[in-house]
Amino acid sequence: MGTSVRAMWARVVLAALAGAASGTAWGQATDCGPYKVTAIQAQSGDLLANVVDASGNYWKEIGAWTAPATKPYQALLQQALATGTGIVLRYTIVGYNCAQTDYGNVPVIVRLYNS
């Protein structure tokens, strides 16, 4: 693995950890998924992903372009879309309803999930 690839993955991991650390305590979170990513939408202010699980099909806001974690999250979403690998989204909201379209809350972790 080349140095630039290692550096990119190090930034992805650090961004995910920074996002998680800025949320509530580790025990107070909701993991959603695994989802299959069916679309990624980049728009002027933020990034959205269309995800599917056994309960349905939902649009999720992934983050604003001004947030440091959004571009690393986008990289993981693109990989999931290209390879068919599942993802898990973690929210700091206890009892978060995963089975809904949500344009107001952003995940603190995007995890690739090989089921």
Q: How many domains does the chain have?
A: 1
Q: Where are the beta strands (DSSP E) in 1-115?
A: 30-42, 46-53, 56-64, 86-91, 109-113
Full-model pTM: 0.77
* pLDDT tens, residue by residue, 71-95: 999 999 999 999 999 999 999 999 9
> Of the given ranges (12-21, 27-36, 51-60, 95-104), which has the lowest mean pLDDT?
12-21
Q: In what order do the strands lie in the sheet with 109-113?
A: 56-64, 46-53, 30-42, 86-91, 109-113
pLDDT at 24: 45
Are the C-beta atoms of residues 96 and 58 closer than 8 Å to each other? Answer: no
For position 11, which CATH number holds?
2.40.50.50
Amino acid at 78: Q
Task: Determine the structural domain holding residue 59 and report its residue range.
Answer: 3-113
